Amino acid sequence: MQIQGEYSFVQPAPVTVFFKRYINAMAIFFPIASFLVIPSVQGTTIVTVMAGLLFAMLIALPAGINKWLLLKELAVFLAIFLVFSVTSQFINLVYEIRLDESLVLVNRGSFLDYFYRTSHITQSLYLLFAILIYLFIKYYSDESLIKYIYWGIRLLCFYGIYEVLFFLIMGHTGDFIVNRKFGDVDASFSQKVVVAGLHILRMKSYTGEPSMFTFTVFPFWALTYVLNRKFDKFLTFGCLALTFSTTAYFAMGMFHTLWFLYKGKYKQVIYVFAFIFILLAMSQLDAFRDKIAGIYEFVFGNKISGNSSSSQSRGGNIATHIAYWTKLNGWSKIFGIGFGYIRSTDFFTTLLVNNGLLGLLVFSGFFFKSFKLGLTNKDLKFCYFTGMILLFFILMATVPEFAYPSMWIYLALGYVWKNAEKMQTYEK
């Protein structure tokens, strides 16, 4: 007997079982972004190379009905992407689009080119591999994937802790994994903060920088509240705290508050405010005033006042790209000037300029598509979708990395859980 629908519930074939185990192995390596299998070829991270090999096996092997469902969805994605690509480039030719010198271009070496820039092709390949990872998990994974995801996160955190301790003891970075470069610059950006006279390396591990560590780890930290993974909850919380990232602290604070309110744990909310009150009281004592003030100024004060280099850069880039978009012709405002043209310090203006208002709406619709899945576990539904909303905020406001595997894995997990619910219903 077989239930017809989006997924097949017949006994899995050996090839399907192999695919599931292969994807589980991929999950261990998904956070590694600053190590390349082929250092001279950008994008050849371990997980993208494994995804490319798996796609070749998918084409060559009989992988069940889900193979055709996967290829069908991939074809729909490619068709939509092709429409945006051809339309934007046709508009560029008709209106002779000019690129402003203030734009943060992916490739400034060919500044005058506006028709099918090379970055349009290379960035499209990154997106293609990200989509493949999403589809593989959606159609071939089960709940066993969760264990491997968190092993990948544990290794990420352990390496990050090693880096922080090494820097604290030796006074310089001890990174021995990174081999990726952007031009002549390493893909691993070491940033320091001074706490109580100690120079502490901000947590980044092999994601490359603290903001990317937050982007990678935060949503999976949120899931630990419903998955009962206490060790992973405290490990990821501590590591996120060591990023000294305003975004991390805001996202964790928001999730904690919403989770306590959702569970009716009003006492915990009071405890949080009591903790804040104690910190404020301690900040008035001479022994703690300078230490607490230093952390506050680095994490919050400079960002709020706009004095930090990151907030100035991000704010300036947002204003620059929005101003450029408003000056475009009407059609370019709708379809953009071409995917992969600019790469701002936020994804909102990156997407708005590259793919226009319509592209922004299409991507947002896709991002939140799993809201319609109807997960029956209320706690899981709350943690998953709250984490998703905050992840969307982090992406749009602070991180332009659309191809990081962590985001696509997270988006696909909803289908894994829904598929598990369907399997349980079928077995009953």
pTM higher than the cut 0.95:
no
Of 14-23, 238-247, 291-300, 309-318, the poorest mean pLDDT is in: 291-300
- Assign 199 to helix, strand or coil: strand
Question: Tell me: the pLDDT tens digits for 377-401?
Answer: 999 999 999 999 999 999 998 888 8
Tell me the C-alpha distance between 267 and 229, whole Å. Answer: 23
Q: Which residue has the higher pLDDT, 299 or 132?
A: 132
The Cβ-side half-sphere exposure at 357, using a 13 Å CA radius, reads: 10
**Domain ranges within the chain, ordered by starting residue:** 14-264+308-415, 268-307
Tell me the C-alpha distance between 44 and 51, whole Å. Answer: 10
**Segment 329-338 mean pLDDT:** 91
Contact between 36 and 122 (Cβ < 8 Å): no
pLDDT at 9 over 70: no
Question: Tell me: the pLDDT tens digits for 256-275?
Answer: 889 988 888 766 666 666 65
pLDDT at 302 over 60: no
Residue 305: pLDDT band (50, 70, 90) is very low
**Segment 167-184 mean pLDDT:** 80
**Segment 170-175 mean pLDDT:** 84
Residue 86 to residues 93, 98, 258, 351, 395, Cα–Cα distance (Å):
11, 18, 43, 16, 26
Tell me the C-alpha distance between 320 and 317, whole Å. Answer: 5
Residue 320 to residues 222, 292, 308, 342, 400, Cα–Cα distance (Å):
34, 35, 18, 12, 15
Of 80-84, 189-193, 244-248, 300-304, the poorest mean pLDDT is in: 300-304
Contact between 138 and 369 (Cβ < 8 Å): no
The predicted pLDDT at position 306 comes to 47
The percent helix, strand, coil of the chain (3-state, each to 5) is: 70, 5, 30
End-to-end CA distance of the chain, in Å?
Answer: 14
**Segment 134-151 mean pLDDT:** 95
The predicted pLDDT at position 175 comes to 83
Residue 48: pLDDT band (50, 70, 90) is very high
- Assign 302 to helix, strand or coil: helix
Residue 71: pLDDT band (50, 70, 90) is very high
The predicted pLDDT at position 273 comes to 63
Two structure tokens written together for 377? 């576990």
**Segment 80-85 mean pLDDT:** 94
Dihedral, CA of residue 337, residue 339, residue 344 and residue 346, to nearest 10: 120
The predicted pLDDT at position 403 comes to 87
The predicted pLDDT at position 5 comes to 44
pLDDT at 225 over 80: yes
pLDDT at 292 over 70: no
| In the block, residue with structure tokens 């349980």 | 424
**Segment 227-231 mean pLDDT:** 93
Most confident by average pLDDT, 49-58, 179-188, 287-296: 49-58
